[in-house]
A and B are shown apart, each in its own frame.
Chain A
Amino acid sequence: MRPPTSLKKEFLKKWIMGLQLCSSSKKEMSFLERKKAIKLSADVAMASARNATTRWSRALISNASKDDSNKGLVECILGPESESLKRASMSLVLCNKRNRSKKILRKSCSIRRARKSSSQMVMASSIAKRLVKKRTQVLKSLVPGGGSMSEFSLIEETLDYILSLRAQVDVMRHLANATELLNRK
């Protein structure tokens, strides 16, 4: 596993950089704007800490760069690799379209199958399968870019995503505490 502290350091680095960029661009920001900027820079920093090796990071970056207002920030945080990363993330969009058509096809087939088997007894296994399927769908919606992943890769991505989220939360919490204490003084 990659050493977590290096991940945190990288994340902190990029995050601070992004935040400074944000604050330098606008002088006065509302609360929500600030929060958005913070979150955005944190997410992008986290994703870029992975250097687009994982799908979720690529999806995150592509989503972030879709919005024009964020593009500059994203580019800045990504740094020199931004171009290649963007190209990599664009491919995800195409994948999504293909997956959507596949899903439609599958649904139509499953409807036919369901009609055939509706007369049979509902087995416990099928219930379990349905549960699992539902939950995988929920998980797919949670993990960025999860829609275009197979079940197996989804689990791998979730693993990585959880690790990164943890690191992100840790760093943010410490920074928040530090600033809070600083302000108290």
Chain B
Amino acid sequence: MDMSDKDKFELEKRSGDSLNYHSASMSSDWRFGGVCKGDLVGSSSCSSASMVDSFGPNLWDHPANSQTLGFCDMNVQNNASTSSTLGIRKGGPGSLRMDIDKTLDIGWNPPSSMLKGGIFLPNAPGMLPQGLSQFPADSGFIERAARFSCFNGGNFSDMMNPFSIPESLNPYSRGGGMLQQDVFASNGLKSVPGGQSQKDEPSMAEISKDVSSADPEIDQVKGSPQQPGEASKDNPEIQHKGDQNPSSVPSKNTGKHGKQGAQASDPPKEEYIHVRARRGQATNSHSLAERVRREKISERMKFLQDLVPGCSKVTGKAVMLDEIINYVQSLQRQVEFLSMKLATVNPRLDFNIEGMLGKDILQSRVGPSSTMGFSPETTMPYPQLHPSQPGLIQVGLPGLGNSSDAIRRTINSQLAAMSGGYKESAPQLPNVWEDELHNVVQMGFSTGAPLNSQDLNGSLPPGHMKAEL
């Protein structure tokens, strides 16, 4: 289904936006095709009212079909001027055709592309079933189609555009292309770039910086939660968005960006966010900007939720902010307290790193941090530290042979707290130790000779880092 959608996008693109449905019958092909594929195969080539008539009884015979009729039609993109209200109407063939025309107004990508293909290639009956076979006739689809049917399809071409120009403009989006703030009202869609966006530039500039610096994933992540969230509301437009598969979200998002990129070739630093107004909401660009802002903020709050412990069940900005404030305050207080503790423990502010490497600390530390699993006997060849230190270090190293252990344990305790798989990490930890010790000792004590050791990469396996995060 994903691939089929993308294919359909491609088809649409190729066939262009202006698709005139001279004969409603052709569209009826598509429509009925969704219902009864077999019939269409035979009648694909002929495009006459007779087909409609022949299908007419079919249509009315199956009441269910009438519904799908309307919905299938919605999938057909129509640039014709038949932009009256769409709906499922029951009546004679004449009204049926009217119906078809009107339902054609609602564009729906996959079938529309198929339709176009059919119209351009009337001699290829094979296309029909192929395209129509991908026609999802499930109830969810029908529901969405129903919602679309109430939509004024006058400007559906506009609606379709962003989604039919995805791939080609991908590079735009990725390259920090233009995102324009467009307003898509439910009726009589107008795009309001220009003036409003100018005003919002200062705020957008900041957002743009954040957006551009944010991962592309975040954009897509933002896109996909938007869709379910919006789909939950009774909005045909958003339903339309939601219609498209989640896999097409990237193409959609980039389609958004891409469209703006195509339209505006202005300074690349400005970024606009393509927004669609929801049905029943003000289409004022201010409120749209507000909405975009709010969504961004709520997305960031989700990150914070993961970060701050105990915030997973909290909803609402105020409470979240409260929790965050408490957490930050507690962390700051901890820093103060620890600095006080260090001040008491160290009468002379000399931090004897090597001293900590002594075996004594190793063994005593093993107790509290019981997660340490490796035996103290494991030693690593460790070179002798140069004793010439600027008076800060008390060279009281009991056994340098165990220094690696000590460092290992000290740092291990950090890691153990974070990662469960401690024992597995044991072999890699010495690397961290070495590295850490080297950094600290080399930097602070400016030893002449480099501390020899396997200059192993101190980066932990990603699992640890993930655990930390």
Binding site for B on A (CB under 8 A): 1, 3-6, 8-9, 12-13, 16-17, 19-20, 22-24, 29, 31-32, 34-35, 37-39, 42-43, 128, 131-132, 135-136, 138-139, 142-143, 150-153, 155-156, 158-159, 161-163, 165-166, 168-185
Q: Do A184 and B210 contact each other (CB < 8 Å), given the known contacts A152-B296, A179-B342, A179-B345?
A: no
Q: Which residues from chain A contact B206 at a C-beta distance below 8 Å?
A: 150, 152-153
CB of B275 closer than 8 Å to a CB of A: no
A138 to chain B, nearest CB (A): 5
CB atoms of B297 and A182 under 8 A apart = no
Interface centre among A1, A6, A9, A181 (most CB of B within 10 A): A181
A sample of 6 inter-chain contacts (CB < 8 A) reads A5-B465, A9-B436, A31-B343, A155-B300, A159-B303, A165-B332
CB of B279 closer than 8 Å to a CB of A: no
CB atoms of A13 and B443 under 8 A apart = yes
CB atoms of A166 and B343 under 8 A apart = no
Q: Which residues from chain A contact B316 at a C-beta distance below 8 Å?
A: 128
CB atoms of A152 and B300 under 8 A apart = yes
Q: Looking across the interface, which residue of chain A has its beta carbon closest to that of B298?
A: A155
CB atoms of B343 and A35 under 8 A apart = yes
How would residues 413 to 451 of chain B score, 1 for a CB under 8 Å from any chain A CB and 0 otherwise?
A: 111010000000000000010011001100110000000
CB of B64 closer than 8 Å to a CB of A: no
Q: Looking across the interface, which residue of chain B has its beta carbon closest to that of A162?
A: B307
Q: How far is the CA of A139 from the CA of B458 in the complex (A)?
A: 36
Q: How far is the CA of A16 from the CA of B353 in the complex (A)?
A: 9
CB of B370 closer than 8 Å to a CB of A: no
CB atoms of A183 and B328 under 8 A apart = no
CB of B89 closer than 8 Å to a CB of A: no
CB atoms of B335 and A172 under 8 A apart = yes
CB of B392 closer than 8 Å to a CB of A: yes
Q: How far is the CA of A128 from the CA of B390 in the complex (A)?
A: 59
Q: Which residues from chain B contact A128 at a C-beta distance below 8 Å?
A: 316-318
Q: Which residues from chain B contact A19 at a C-beta distance below 8 Å?
A: 349, 351
Q: Which residues from chain B contact A150 at a C-beta distance below 8 Å?
A: 203, 206
Binding site for A on B (CB under 8 A): 203, 206-207, 210, 293, 296-297, 300-301, 303-304, 307-308, 316-318, 321-322, 324-325, 327-329, 331-332, 334-336, 338-346, 348-353, 355-356, 358, 360-361, 364-365, 368, 390, 392, 410-411, 413-415, 417, 432, 435-436, 439-440, 443-444, 458-460, 464-465, 468-469
Q: Which residues from chain A contact B304 at a C-beta distance below 8 Å?
A: 155, 158-159, 162
Interface centre among A22, A138, A159, A182 (most CB of B within 10 A): A182
* Beyond known contacts A16-B444, A135-B321: 14 more, CB 8 A cutoff: A1-B469, A4-B469, A16-B353, A16-B440, A128-B317, A131-B318, A150-B203, A159-B303, A162-B328, A174-B410, A174-B413, A181-B356, A181-B360, A182-B352
Q: Looking across the interface, which residue of chain B has its beta carbon closest to that of A12?
A: B440
Q: How far is the CA of A131 from the CA of B341 in the complex (A)?
A: 36
Partner of A3, one of B321, B390, B459: B459
CB atoms of A175 and B335 under 8 A apart = no
Q: How far is the CA of A42 from the CA of B459 in the complex (A)?
A: 23
Q: Looking across the interface, which residue of chain A has its beta carbon closest to that of B334?
A: A169
CB atoms of A132 and B317 under 8 A apart = yes
Q: How far is the CA of A136 from the CA of B297 in the complex (A)?
A: 12
Q: Looking across the interface, which residue of chain B has its beta carbon closest to that of A168?
A: B335
Q: Which residues from chain A contact B435 at a C-beta distance below 8 Å?
A: 9
Q: Looking across the interface, which residue of chain B has its beta carbon closest to that of A143?
A: B328
CB atoms of A135 and B338 under 8 A apart = no
Partner of B392, one of A5, A20, A165: A20
CB atoms of B328 and A178 under 8 A apart = no
CB atoms of A185 and B360 under 8 A apart = yes
CB atoms of B325 and A142 under 8 A apart = yes
Q: Which residues from chain B contact A37 at a C-beta distance below 8 Å?
A: 349
Q: Which residues from chain B contact A183 at a C-beta distance below 8 Å?
A: 345
A54 to chain B, nearest CB (A): 11
What 7 A-B pairs come out closest when comparing CB atoms? A23-B349, A135-B321, A34-B343, A35-B343, A165-B331, A39-B339, A172-B338
